[in-house]
A = this chain, B = another copy of it.
Amino acid sequence: MPHPSSHKLNIADVAKAAGVSTTTVSRVINRIGTVKESNRARVLDAIRKMKYRPNPSAQRLAAGKNNTIGLVIPRFQDMFHSFYITELMRGVGTASERLKLDLLLHITDGPWTNMQSVEGLLFADLDGSEELVDAAVEQGIPCVIMNHFLEELPVSCVAVDNRKAAREVVRYLAELGHQEIATITGHLRTHVGIERLDGYLAAIKERKLPMKEAYVEHGDFGAPSAREPAKRLLGLKDRPTAIFAASDAMAVETIEVAFELGLRVPEDLSVVGFDDSPVAAFGRVPLTTVWQPLSGVGEQSVEILHDQIDGKVKSPIKRLLPTQIIKRQSCRQTWLER
C-alpha cells in the first residue's frame, strides 16, 4: 500500500519480458558466466527498461547468506572520542563497500534487538558494550574488536601498538637530549592507558634515564585531569625538561599550565601528546604527537571479520598496527645548549 502506483516487479516479470527463464535472469544478475551473449543483452535491457531491482531479502534467503555486518559504537562522549570514532568509521566504511558488505549500525547502549540480522560484529572500542561481546561470542557470531585487546576471549582484536609508540616517544625525546622525562598517564583502568605507561617505563629503563616516582603522574586522558599533575611536575625541584602526556588533550593542558607558570614551550619544556587529534595542530603550540592508523584499524578489522565469516580464518587474530611520531613545534633539542 505504500506506493500504490508502482507495481512490484519480480524476477518472473523480467524473465517474461526478456523471453527467458527466471534462472537465466538470476544468472545474469549474479554475473554467472554461462549465458549466451544475446540473452544477457536482452535481460539487461529488460531490467533497465522496467527499472527492476532484485529484492535483497529474497536474495539473501535463497542464497543462504545475508552479507551484513554490524558496527557497534559506544555512546559518544568527548571530542577525542568523536574524532577517534569517525576515523575508525571511515576505514570500516571503505572496506565494507569494497567487500560488498552491508554495514548495520548500532549506536545506543542497551541490548541489540536484532543482532540476528548480522553475520559478524565489529566493535569500535568497548566502552559499555562488553555484554554485547559476550552475547555474540555465546551465539557463535564472529567478532572483531577495534582498539581494545581482549586476550582471554576468542575474538579478533585489531589495535594500535600503544606500548611501542610510547617507547618511541621517549627515545625521540632522549635523542633530543632530554634526560628528565616525565609522563602524565591516561586512565590506568584502560588497556590504552596501561600500555602507554608501560612503553614509557620500558624506554626510560632501556635508555638508563632517571626513573623517579615523581615523574609519573596520573590523569584520565581528559584535559582537566592533567592540570594538577602538570602543576606538580613543573613545581618539582628537579623539574623535568620534557613531559609525555598520554593524550593530546592532556598535552595541551600541560602546555597551558606551563604558560601560566611563566615557562615557554618548547624553550623551557618539551611536550609530546598522543592521538594526533585535531587540537594538536590548533593549539597555542603545534603539538608533537603520535599519529595512529585509525582508519587502517577499521579497514583491517572488516577484512578479518569477512575472512572469519567465510570460514577462511578459524582462530581469532590479534593484530597490532604501528604508529608514527608527528614532529611539530612542542619539542626542542636540549643538547645543543648544554
What residues make up the interface of A, taking CB atoms closer than 8 Å to B?
1-3, 6, 51, 53-58, 60-61, 66, 71, 73, 75-76, 78-79, 81-83, 85-87, 89-90, 92-94, 97, 100, 102-108, 110, 113-114, 116-117, 139-140, 223, 249, 252, 277-279, 282-284, 309-311
Residues in chain B near residue A139, CB distance under 8 A: 51, 53
CB atoms of B114 and A90 under 8 A apart: no
CB atoms of A76 and B86 under 8 A apart: yes
Q: How far apart are the CA atoms of A85 and B82 in the complex, in Å?
A: 9
The oligomer's copy count stands at 2
The 9 sampled A-B contact pairs (Cβ below 8 Å) are: A2-B309, A3-B140, A56-B116, A57-B66, A76-B89, A78-B278, A89-B107, A102-B104, A282-B282
Q: How far apart are the CA atoms of A2 and B305 in the complex, in Å?
A: 13
**A255 CB to nearest chain B CB (Å):** 11
**A225 CB to nearest chain B CB (Å):** 14
Q: How far apart are the CA atoms of A81 and B309 in the complex, in Å?
A: 33
CB atoms of B71 and A61 under 8 A apart: no
Residues in chain B near residue A105, CB distance under 8 A: 71, 89, 93, 103-105
CB atoms of A104 and B107 under 8 A apart: no
